[in-house]
Structure 1
Amino acid sequence: MSYQHYRLEELARLVQGELVGQADLCLQGLASLELAEPQHIAFVNADKYVEQAKVSKAGALIVTPELQQQLDTHQNFIVVANPYLAFAILTHVFERKHTQTGIESTAQIHPSAIISESAYIGHYVVVGENCVVGDKTIIQSHSKIDDFVEIGKECFIDSHVTITGEAKIADRVRIHANTVIGSEGFGFAPYQGKWHRIAQLGSVQIGNDVRIGSNCSIDRGALDDTILEHGVIIDNLVQIAHNVKVGANTAIAAKCGIAGSTIIGKNCILAGACGVSGHLSIADNVTLTGMSMVTKSISEPGTYSSGTGALPNAQWKRAVIRFRQLADVPLTQLQKRLDHMQTQIESLESTLKLRK
């Protein structure tokens, strides 16, 4: 296996950092503080990692000016304001790039499709009628790009992805394995004890720099389009139903489900396994903690939670009993008890005042 080497001064220039130490030190990869070897560069992001950094074998460290002063066991540094951001930038430097272009012989491309000469179409890919695939886009093996789908520039479509429903995908979008974009939304009209299918006539629009993980499903709209705005990032195993709109730079973690016609604002965070009911609106800059269930609109930014945190099993069982007991007591009865307690408190306070 061959490795690409970079001199420390080159890496410092790429992250606009200050070089301290040996400018021509050759480095061939990133590593954690614990597993780094002399040919690696690692990053230190907080005071709590200083002791670990002191004993690290890393050839160079990415640090803040304050952290550098604490690391007298090392001589080679890239000094920046945000080490984690610098690390993120350098991951792209050391990432193994796909450089192949062209169309593999086993791919099936409709004659009307427009494929950029700089794109790559992998083995057994099917590209349908009137599709467009932009410059430097990579489509890996066994994917299906259905009729009238448009894919922009520098996208990455992993293996076994299906894109259908006349979806429109902008530039630098990454869609990972086994995900389906533009599948039929879950729309049915109940009548006389039966469910009558509603044909889904909308599409899916995905903005620039969107990332969608593996095994996700993004449904096409019933009439209006399902929309993911620029910079949205989605983890694995996420369901987004028809007519949902997700605002720019919102992050959705694994196993979330968003029901139809919900609007989620910009810069939101949905932690793992959140559920959002349909036809709701969530404001910009809202964070939902893990396993939250949203059943009504949220109009103010902030952090919201629901559900119960983990407890020791015996304590949880006692809590469940209390929940059941509480549910069995009518609300009016609870109110009367509280009113009676309030009256007793006020009576005691009056008696104490008279005694003084």
Structure 2
Amino acid sequence: METSLGELVARLGGELVGDATIRVRQIASLEAARPGEIAFLSNPKLIAALASSEASAFILSPKAAGLTERARILTPDPYLYFARAAQLFNPPKRPAAGVHPSAVVASALPASVSVAPQAVIGEGCEIGEDCIIGAGCVLGDGVRLGAGSLLHAGVKIYDNCEIGARAIIHSGAVIGADGLGFARDADKHWVKIPQIGRVIIGDDVEIGANTTIDRGALDDTVIGNGVKLDNLIHVAHNCRIGDDSIMAAMAGLAGSTVVGKRVMAGGKAGFSGHLEVADDVTISADTNVTKSIDKAGVYTSMIPLQAHADWVRNFSHLRRLDAMAERLRELEKKLGAKES
């Protein structure tokens, strides 16, 4: 798509400084931009790249307006404006509606739905208008998929799970597999507990490649509206994730974890089971959340990178902390006795 700066501002807002008739066809980084493209500046560290950029126009904050004399769109949040402009220049490709002859479909579908080769849709499914079901996807019996949802190739959704409107689920994701539910008998053998709950996913959710969300043991596993889950995330049975939360790759939630709204979790963050996390909490990458968090804020538990020899020495001190604390208590007692 190609548009003028004036048309872009008319659609997305912002204040235009410069020639409204300049035409742009794509958005790009400051370093890679070419004539006919628009670049954005949101990181002050990249100011030097602004002067040498070949972009035809820029997206800047009002504070950065004087950094260039070339055409620019001023907006309080250039990164957000970039995201919306990128959507405009790069609309998703949509396959033709219809069911491929190799697909196996046991439920009625709206005429607007596209089903790719070798997909399987079970009985009693409710599929909304304009859904796209990629090659090799498998939807079990009783699955509900909201209007405008996109399943990339190889997504698996188990029986009776529900997904809201406009979902994007990437390849290899598995929704509704059994959670780790077992009881131990007297002989220490594991006895399987049937997982009879479902996975319920809200509207506007995106789920990354090879992410797994387990069905509930008794109650449902619930993912709220607007949640964004990266690749290789595991959400165990009976977890609940509040609206507009986001988690980076390899985060993991143990069973019955309840995460509030607008929570942000960095890569490889881990949540122990049966705990609650308040709204508006940020968890740093590599952090292990081992107890409930009842107040908004940023939480970190990772150990900083250090040379191996330093780590060995410091860890040896950690192992002696209990003994050192006991000796300190004894010294305090002796000092107290002398002072009295």
Range of TM-score over shorter length: over 0.9
1:98 equivalent among 93, 109, 129: 93
1:194 aligns with 2:189: yes
Pick which of 91-100 and 272-281 moved more: 91-100
1:142 equivalent in structure 2: 136
CA–CA separation in structure 2 for the residues paired with 1:14 and 1:32: 21
Inter-partner Cα distance in structure 1 for 2:151 and 2:139: 10
Tell me whether 245-254 or 23-32 shows the greater mean CA deviation: 23-32
Q: 2:98 and 2:19 mapped to 1: Cα distance?
A: 42
| Counterpart code for 1:181 | I
- Tell me whether 1:324 sits opposite 2:319 in the alignment: yes
> Does residue 60 of structure 2 align to residue 66 of structure 1?
no
Residue 311 of structure 1 pairs with residue 306 of structure 2: yes
The whole-number CA distance in structure 1 between the counterparts of 2:61 and 2:300 is 34
Query: Is 1:182 the counterpart of 2:179 in the alignment?
Result: no
Distance of 2:265 and 2:44 partners within structure 1: 29
| 1:123 equivalent in alignment to 2:111 | no
Q: TM-score, normalised by structure 2?
A: 0.94
Q: Is the 8 A contact 1:47 1:67 kept in 2?
A: no
Q: Aligned pair 1:107/2:135, yes or no?
A: no
Please list the CA deviations of residues 242-264 of structure 1 after superposition, one character each: whole Å capped at 9, or x if unmatched.
11011111111111111111111
Cross-structure match for 2:330: 336
Over alpha carbons, which structure has the higher Rg?
1
- Return the offset for 1:312: 2.2
Mean Cα displacement is larger for which, 140-149 or 79-88?
A: 79-88
Counterpart-to-counterpart distance in 1, 2:164 and 2:83: 23
Equivalent position SS for 1:69: helix
Change (3 A) 1:310 1:195: same
What does 1:1-356 correspond to in 2, within 5 Å? Answer: 4-72=1-69, 74=70, 76-99=71-94, 100-110=96-106, 113-192=107-186, 193-327=188-322, 329=323, 331-340=325-334, 343=336
Does the 8 Å CA contact 2:139/2:159 hold for their aligned counterparts?
no
What is the alpha-carbon distance in structure 2 between the residues aligned to residue 233 and residue 317 of structure 1?
38
Aligned counterpart, 1:353: none
The answer to whether the Cα contact below 8 Å between 1:50 and 1:71 also exists between their aligned partners in 2 is no
Is the 1:122–1:139 Cα contact (8 Å) retained in structure 2? yes
Q: 1:338 Cα deviation (Å)?
A: 4.5
Q: Secondary structure at the match of 2:320?
A: helix
Work out whether residues 165 and 183 of structure 1, in 8 Å CA contact, stay in contact via their aligned partners in 2. Answer: no
Aligned residues: 338
2:261 partner SS: coil
Counterpart amino acid of residue 252 in structure 2: G
Q: Distance in 2 between matches of 1:305 and 1:335?
A: 29
Matched with 1:354 is none
SS in 2 for 1:61: strand
CA contact (8 A) 2:252 2:269 kept: yes
Shift of 1:18: 2.2
- SS in structure 1 of the partner of residue 101 of structure 2: coil
State percent identity of aligned pairs.
Answer: 36
Q: Contact 1:165 / 1:220 at 8 angstroms: preserved in 2?
A: no
Q: Deviations over 1:191-234 (max 9, x none)?
A: 12110001111001000111111111100001100000111111
| RMSD value, Cα | 1.9
**SS of the residue aligned with 1:114?**
coil
Which deviations, in whole Å up to 9, do the C-alpha atoms of 1:168-197 show, x marking residues without a partner? 111111111100000111100111211000
CA distance in 2, matches of 1:12, 1:98: 24
Q: Given residue 123 of structure 1, which amino acid in structure 2 is its aligned partner?
A: P
Report if the CA contact (8 A) 1:211-1:234 is conserved: yes
- Matched residue of 1:115: which SS? coil
Structure-2 separation of matches of 1:237 and 1:97: 23
Gap runs ≥5 in structure 2 = none
